[in-house]
Amino acid sequence: MSDAASERGVVIRGLRKHYGDTIALDGLDLQARPGEILGVAGPNGAGKSTMIKILAAETPQTDGEILVDGEPWSIDIGVHRVAVVHQEPQLFPNLTVGDNVMIGREHVRWLRRDLDDVERTIMGELGILDVKDTPLEFVPLAIQQRTEIARALVQDARVFLFDEPNSALTEEESNDLFRRMHALADAGRVVILVSHRLAELVQHTDRVVVILDGKAARSLEGADKTQEAIARELVVGAPGAKETDAQRVARISDAGKPTVEVSGWSHDKGEFHDVTLHVRPGEVLAIVGVEGSGARELVRSIAGFEPGAGHIVIDGQVGQDAIRNRTGFVSADRAASLFANYSVGDNVVARLGREIAGAGGALRRGRMSRIAHDIRDSFRIKAANVNVPIRSLSGGNQQKVAIAAAIVKRPKALVLEEPTRGVDIGSKEEIYRLLRHFTSEGHAVIMYCTEVPEVFDVADRVHVVSDGRLSDPLLVFQYPDVKALAAAITRLERHAATPAAA
Amino acid sequence: MTTENPAVAARTSGDRMRDAGSSLLRVGGVFIVVLLVIAVFALLTGGKSLIPANLLGMLRAMSSVAILGMGLLLVIVVGEIDLSFGYLYGLSASTIAVSWIMWGWPIWAAIILAFAVAIFWGCFNAFFTTVVKIPSFIATLGSGTLIFGFTLLITNTSTFNPAYPPAGKVVNPDELKLFTSLANQQLPFNFPMQGLWMIGIAIVVWFLLSRSLFGFRLKAIGGNPEAARLARLPVRKYKFAAFIAMGLLACTAAMLDFAFIGSTQPNAGISFVFPTFAAVIIGGASLAGGRGSVAGTLTGALLLAVLVNGLALLASGPFATQMLFGTVTIGAVVLDRYTQRKRGML
């Protein structure tokens, strides 16, 4: 009996997965016991997402053994006993919350049935019974995730995998989510949390496994489980090219005439009004604001992807021409920045025109390949070669390709939306390094951010948008730590909101 | 590259070759099927299907589908669909016939008019797809019927044969000779003229699609229109180009068939719609956009021509052709998905 008991939970031995030439998992060993929350950390490309996909039967493994409660893993177990709570729930947006919970287990073949008692109880406990008749697409993300949890609970899933579940949630919503995670663990279920947020891993998990290059590199528990220890494991080999404050100040004060100047800038549908801002050469300007504040729309409008009207000058050119010719844009949504049918190399050069074409519009394949290889090396993109499909890369490396493709086009101003959303700490540092390198050549970066640490790490100045109005800028180097900057940003958000509410 | 897995880093040489090889696998696979089918028919017909006259006949027979297919390929690669080209084929031939025979225009003017009309309908389809933003499936379903109605109107639903013009109309015999010479000329080895047109067009489209910036961007736009928009690629312009190319090639195919056959009727192109789609899909183009090749489309057209020809020699009846078309189309897509999965793309 004791033998069987030790096998309870999830046991992974020697798990391997190859995508073509790219090795995503290289003999991963991992054990998750019922009743504990196991944290999984790792740089992008380490194999975390692949492990989840294999467990949930979304992709077949190449080799290795998985046991769930002592039973060998099968597709049936992957589908019914393993539940994944995604960053963006994978449900049916057009169906109601209730339908989403019961779909697939209707039992009755022909007649449409109502929710049964089990479903009602579980939905009640999760606080989503009230919205059972609302189409899923109209409820907030947090409710959608709870719907995903409910759906798994009614199927009596044993293993819950949370994949960056709270990256788009408010603090309150994520606290609630963590409470539910603990409740699941307390009820004897296996809970695995994959996260880039070290503080949460430390606070909410019993044990943290760090995955590097497709293998479990380290397991940290008890007193060893600190943010510093995890971070140390994660950035092994990553370059720490962080600028000193003095360098930062020197760079900004040296900066001359602004690269980007915007004044009297308003949105056609009123998302923001009468904005005035500028970005100097070599400067990274962050625009912060919650969803609906107009911050995202403002940033997009500077790249021409939201309708903005007013005065805009970029590197001496005026108006929409300046936007078209001098800015490059990278969306927060990776699916909207990459060409899935293209290789890594072709994605890198997809924005280029004359640079890769010769007489009669003939492609210069040699030059394309050279550019792609240069970029792969300087951006440290983890790809076996530039001819592998873009989809074989991990999220962080895909994001590097997306940003590289914009930089290769050599815009004067690079406009980014949440440049490191869902990206691990190692790739994050890489991306920040690349942005700093880009600005060091006298270019400007404008980025929409939702996370204060990102602002603190990479931005020189930050504006806060609330209710479509822009705050005065904060100089980031004046704040000693992230907390102080966060407090100042929150103050500006409230401050701006109060008069509008009155 | 310090943290990289050595096994990942190690394999860098020769992958370009392998990559090219695996994308050819698809076309190669169909080509092997073509050879097998040819072998089977050669056995069944006792070698009759292999005599040069028959092989050259097949080359001519595949040319219309291939030329239409290359136009459709461009539209499918950019992520759209065109259901109207069969009707545009009819309209193009009828435009030449009506303006030349009925209105007494010189043949060159009639041909220019037909191409202008084809460009117009290409723009029409592209306009409703990219500006009004109706799905191209619906836009071209509608425009196809509209075009057919228009064709019936200008032809008064009649068939035209320039060798036998209607009462009161005269066709200049020199012009007739010039026109028929577009598709009927004595070439060495009795090589069909239309085959030559097909090869010429194939070289141009191949260059555009596989070797030029135009094709590179066309595939990017088809692969992810939203990313293309955010990358400031000229999405609308390229979709116009694809639909216009489709129109031009439909007009070319119609003109050549008209010149070869010597007569035309309003519904002449409708029977080409299915085989053209089948050829493009068998040739590995993805209906989701972003993927497809000229070599594939030509191979697809060849396969269909071989099947039709072989079945005709065996006198198996029209039912067999239809059944085989259906089977081959589904089979090719199944094969495609299988090879894609082998490559780890799905």
pTM for the whole structure: 0.75
Residues A149 and A292 in one domain: no
Residue A488 lies in a domain: yes
In a shared domain, residues A261 and A138: no
Contact B9 A384 (CB under 8 A): yes
> What is the arithmetic mean of pLDDT over A42-57?
82
Q: Is residue A282 part of a domain?
A: yes
Closest Cβ opposite residue B8 in set A23, A336, A351: A23
Q: What is the pLDDT of residue A328?
A: 94
Cβ of B11 within 8 Å of Cβ of A338? The answer is no
Name the least confident of A17-21, A307-311, B262-266. A17-21
How many Å apart are CA A225 and CA A7, to the nearest integer? 24
A8 and A128 share one domain: yes
Q: Is residue A99 part of a domain?
A: yes
CB A422 within 8 A of CB A167: yes
At A242 the pLDDT is 47
Q: Are A433 and A403 in contact (CB under 8 A)?
A: no
Q: Sheet holding A37-41: strands in order across?
A: A82-85, A159-163, A190-194, A37-41, A207-212, A215-221
CB contact B291 to A (< 8 Å): yes
- On chain A, the residues whose CB falls within 8 A of the CB of B12 are 384-385
Is residue A377, in this structure, part of any structural domain at all? no
Residue A192, judged by CB atoms within 10 A of its CB (0-12, 13-18, 19+), counts as buried
Average pLDDT in chain A: 84
Domain presence at residue A239: no
Residue owning tokens 């493009």: B280
Is there a single domain that holds both residue A219 and residue A163? yes
Q: Domain boundary residue among A234, A256, A281?
A: A234
Name the phi and psi angles at A179, rounded to 5: -55, -45
Cβ-based contacts of A356 with chain B (< 8 Å) = 213, 216
| Domain co-membership, A209 together with A252 | no
Contacts of B212 in chain A (CB under 8 A): 357, 360-363
Query: In which domain, by residue range, is A105 found?
Result: 2-234
Look at A342 and B286 and tell me if their CB atoms are within 8 Å: no
Task: Note whether A110 and A65 are same-domain residues.
Answer: yes
Q: Residue A328's domain is classified under what CATH number?
A: 3.40.50.300
Q: State the total domains in chain A.
A: 2
A94 and A172 part of one domain? yes
Residue A193 has pLDDT above 60, yes or no: yes
Give, for all 346 residues of chain B, the pLDDT tens digit: 333 333 333 333 344 444 444 455 556 677 787 888 888 888 888 888 888 888 888 898 899 999 999 999 999 999 999 999 999 999 999 999 999 999 999 999 999 999 999 999 999 999 999 999 999 999 999 999 999 999 999 999 999 999 998 888 888 899 999 999 999 888 888 889 999 999 999 999 999 999 999 999 999 999 999 999 999 999 999 999 999 999 999 999 999 999 999 999 999 999 999 999 999 988 888 888 898 999 999 999 998 998 888 888 888 888 888 888 888 878 877 876 776 666 544 4
Residue A340 lies in a domain: no
CA distance B80 to chain A (A): 16
> Closest Cα of chain A to B214: distance in Å?
7
Examine the domain organization and report whether A210 and A256 are in the same domain.
Answer: no
Interface test with A, best of B26, B212, B224 (most A CBs within 10 A): B224
pLDDT at A110 over 70: no
Q: CB distance B224–A360 less than 8 Å?
A: no
For residue A290, give the nearest of A134, A173, A394, A150 by alpha carbon: A173
Q: What is the CA radius of gyration of chain B?
A: 22
Scanning B294-333 for CB atoms below 8 A from A yields none
User: In terms of domains, do A205 and A271 share one?
Assistant: no
- Distances A123 to A115, A129, A374, A481, B117 between C-alpha atoms, Å: 10, 5, 53, 41, 62
**Residues paired with residue A357 on neighbouring β-strands, in sequence order:** A363
Q: Residue A453: which of A178, A232, A199 has the closest Cα?
A: A199
- Same domain, yes or no: A249 and A230: no
Which of residues 65 through 84 in chain B touch A, CB cutoff 8 A? Answer: none
Task: Check CB contact under 8 Å for A341 and B224.
Answer: yes
Chain A's closest residue to B290, CA to CA, is A341
Last residue of a domain, one of A234, A264, A280: A234
Q: How far is A42 from chain B (nearest CA, A)?
A: 13
Residue A215's pLDDT is 85
Tokens linked to B113: 């008019």
With a threshold of 0.90, tell me whether the complex ipTM lies above it.
Answer: no
Instruction: Report pLDDT digits (tens) over A468-480.
Output: 899 988 888 778 7
* Residue A338 resides in a domain: no
Shortest CA gap B339–chain A (Å) = 13
- Would you say residue A352 lies in a domain? no
Contact criterion met (CB below 8 Å) for A418 and A375:
no
Q: How many CA atoms lie within 13 A of B280 on its CB side?
A: 27
Mutate to test the interface with A, among B216, B342, B346 (most CBs of A within 10 A): B216
Cross-chain CB nearest to A213 (options B3, B215, B228): B3
Answer with the residue of higher pLDDT: A75 or A242. Answer: A75
Using CA atoms of A450, A451, A457, A462 in order, give the dihedral in degrees to the nearest 10.
Answer: 40
Asked whether residue A255 falls in the same domain as residue A225, the answer is no
Confidence of residue A246 (pLDDT cuts 50, 70, 90): low
pLDDT > 80? residue A254: no
Give A166-178 pLDDT, tens digit per residue. Answer: 777 777 888 888 9
Please tell me which residue of chain A has the smallest CA distance to B221.
A339
State the Cα–Cα distance between residues B116 and B104, nearest whole angstrom. Answer: 18
Give the one of A21, A329, A341 whose C-beta lies nearest to B223's C-beta. A341
User: Are A339 and A350 contacting, i.e. CB atoms less than 8 angstroms apart?
Assistant: yes
Note the pLDDT of residue A248: 56
Q: What tokens were used for B227?
A: 């990313």
Q: Is B26 on the interface with A (CB under 8 A)?
A: no
Question: What is residue B3's predicted lDDT score, i.e. its pLDDT?
Answer: 37
Q: Is B38 within 8 Å of B58 (Cβ atoms)?
A: no
Kind of pairing between the strands at A260-267 and A308-314: antiparallel
Band the pLDDT of A235: cuts 50, 70, 90. low
Kindly give the pairing relationship between strand A461-466 and strand A469-470. Answer: antiparallel
Give me the mean pLDDT over the A390-405 stretch. Answer: 90
Output the pLDDT for position B331: 83
Q: Which residues of chain B make contact with A24, given a CB cutoff of 8 A? A: none
Q: Which of A19-23, A272-276, B164-168, B226-230 has the lowest mean pLDDT?
A: A19-23
The region of weakest confidence among A120-129, A339-348, A421-430, B186-195 is A421-430
Beta bridge partners of A265: A275
Domains and their CATH numbers in chain B: 33-38+49-342 (1.10.3470)
Residues A214 and A254 in one domain: no
Last residue of a domain, one of A204, A234, A264: A234
Spatial distance between the Cα atoms of A496 and A218, rounded to a whole number of angstroms: 46
Taking residues A450-471, report their average pLDDT: 89
Q: Determine the residue type at A241.
A: A
More confident of the two residues B168 and A7? B168
